[in-house]
Amino acid sequence: MKKYKKKKKFAPVFPGFYGTIKWIKLRKRVIRTYGAKCMKCESTEDIHVDHIKPRSKYKKLQYKFDNLQVLCKKCNMEKSNFNEIDYRPKLNNQQEEKLAQIFAGASLIKSETN
């Protein structure tokens, strides 16, 4: 009689919230939109996507693109969840329109797949 090995369950690299498909896709979108450079010190090393208003205090904002910014690990750890500093650059009208088009395109794609 042949014995079958049990398949090992896939364990995400980051368990919990940071391992969810929804977060991984949103994180990629933020980096694609803003670039993989820290918005505070301009480092390109060890990039994080930071919640401007911390997840620990604002659960409803954890998947909101408008609440996310790109920081390096050092700047993100300094910021922690004690403050809500927004390091994103101020956008001019043309940049705001482009970002609005990105959001509109993302929502159209999302509604077409549902």
**How sure is the predictor about 51, in pLDDT bands with cuts at 50, 70 and 90?**
very high
Q: Using one digit for the tens of pLDDT, what is the confidence trace for 54-109?
A: 999 999 999 999 999 999 999 999 998 888 999 998 877 777 777 777 666 655 44
Mean pLDDT for the chain overall: 82
Distance CA 27, CA 25 (A): 5
DSSP 26-80: HHHHHHHHH-SS-TTT---SSEEEEESS-TTT-GGGTT-GGGEEEEEHHHHHHHT
Entry pTM: 0.70
Q: Can you give the pLDDT at residue 15?
A: 74
Q: Where are the domains of the chain?
A: 16-86
Q: Can you give the pLDDT at residue 113?
A: 46
